[in-house]
A and B are shown apart, each in its own frame.
Chain A
Amino acid sequence: MSVAVLIEHHGGQISRPSFEALTLARTLGTPVAVWLGEEPPADAVAQLGEYGAAEVRVAAIGDDARLPAKAATAVAAASADSSVLLVISTFVNKEIVTRVAMSTGAGVVVDAAGAELVDGRVETTQTVFAATWDVRTRIETDRAIVGIRPNTTQAAPAPTAGDATVVGVDVPLPETRERLASVEAVPEEDGVPLAEAPVVVSGGRGTGGDYTLIREFADLLGGAVGASRDATDEGWISHEHMVGQTGTTVTPALYVACGISGAVHHRGGMQASGTIVAINLDPDAPIFEISDFGVVGSLFDVIPQAIERIKQSRES
């Protein structure tokens, strides 16, 4: 069975969640990579093969990939012979798959943490209600679309590499009413993107707007910097860093909440993380109710000491 995987890439580099999705796809069938935008570089094609892609279907549609209706037409054409389409569960991909589902009749589950075949149907697992419930959903249609969250599958190369045969997808794109007036790239931060990061260190009101220690701790742990809504509303840090239900939902192996009380909107965006650690001055902060380890204290005291101790332990 062919399983199409929509590959995320920036500047020719494949994002880490795409390798996770290919790894998951191999448990369902034979992965076929779908690539939108500019032509993939040769090393990217080779990597897709290492993760088991039998083919790489390329729809070289450039910036048209930014318009959901055009992207959906290209994805539908590239995955027409696949029973399952896997995408990374981003806001943009949810728009694309909604349109693919409407044109193909496929059933869709987004924000999934896993997918498997049960009696010939795709079943997914996901958390709902601010990550307080686990739900298993069966897709009842012959074609299934699953949006998978980053960090939910351990990426691993295929035991036997796929051929990664590049196949052009030549599809007439529909005229759309929507027109891109401008695209202004968001300056890329050093390090890992928030949604994909295996470790996230977040700062909230308790930082008072000073993210120096948060960044230092994140760098030490190889993670990304997050923030609460309070902090982005104050303008202390840009909106791209906001963890929460209307910002970025994260599921890293380790989440460190510093000076964040844990309002329900924030918890909904991080509660499914592997291990949660919190530092807060207020012993009654709700964040402690969902933390594996909490320190009641000042982040300005606790973080520097933790950094020193971790450095020592790495040296020894």
Chain B
Amino acid sequence: MRILVTVKHTPDLQSQRSFTEGAVTRTAEDGSMNELDENAVEAALQLIEAAGEGEVYALTVGGADAVAAVRKALQLGAHHAIHVSDEAIAGSDVFGTATVIAAAVRKVHAEAPLDLVVTGMAALDGLTSMLPTALAAELDWSQLTLASGLTVADGEATIIRHLPDARETVSAPLPAVVSVTDEANTPRYPNFKLIMAARKAPVATWSLAELDLDPSAVGASAARTTVVDASERPPRANRQVVTDTGDGGTALADFLVERGLV
């Protein structure tokens, strides 16, 4: 079984993030792999372990610091790492990003067919969760998204999808794009041997030219949306904290009554 996992470099959620000229700027320290992508790597590793054979490719798109995300995937047990990096990609919207990832997936798929692409359900810094659908549509592969459970048998993948109104079981033939939620599994910790090996493991770096992509099809100029204004929300004004000495509940109720909320 051959599985490609997309991973994204995101800043630590506690770190400072801001907007400059309509683009996200991040403090350089503390960045790592998007936490929800750990579930994607774990899902891929569990599938090849169950199958008794297979290879996992970790793919990331981004600037020089993005390579940290595929290194993390190698530490967890991925076999190959690919970093797509090109200045022209900066400022891409979800459709541009899907175009780039789809081209990289096709390149790997052309070398030897892939069975699955596995992604996290969302990037915790962007969280629009549109990418897995966009990727499946772009590749014209099966779309199995928001999986809280995943099995593969007889050339078909089956997921459990936990929606607010129903639990769905959805099946589709391979190849498929699967996004997994944080309910799907518990990610493993990297072991020392893999950490050491990951340091020396090669990372393939591909530019748009190697993916045969026209730079004008991606990046800020192709994006369908523009950030026109961004400002940090001010902290809540007039915050009050009281310590309960026997009348905390009354104080809370009076606050709610005063605000007209009850």
Contacts and interface: CB of A to CB of B under 8 A. Distances in A.
Contacts, number: 247
A295 B229 contact: no
A246 B226 contact: no
Interface of A: 10, 66-69, 90-92, 94-95, 97-99, 101-102, 105-111, 123, 127-141, 176-186, 193-195, 199, 220-221, 239-240, 245-246, 248, 253-254, 264-265, 268, 275-277, 279, 283, 288-298, 301-310, 313-314
B193 interface: no
A290 B235 CA distance: 7
Given A253-B261, A305-B250, A310-B253, A136 B227 contact: yes
Contacts of B172: 176-179
B154 interface: no
B238 interface: yes
Given A178-B171, A245-B124, A277-B252, A186 B244 contact: no
Interface of B: 13-14, 17-19, 36, 93-95, 121-122, 124-130, 133-134, 137-138, 141-146, 158, 162-173, 176, 181-183, 223-233, 235-236, 238-244, 247-257, 259, 261-262
Given A108-B225, A182-B168, A275-B261, A309 B253 contact: yes
A179 B171 contact: yes
Given A94-B129, A291-B239, A296-B243, A182 B169 contact: yes
Contact of A129 (B125, B183, B228): B125
B164 A90 contact: yes
A314 B253 CA distance: 11
A215 B254 CA distance: 20
A137 B261 contact: no
B253 A313 contact: yes
B244 A301 contact: yes
A294 B241 contact: yes
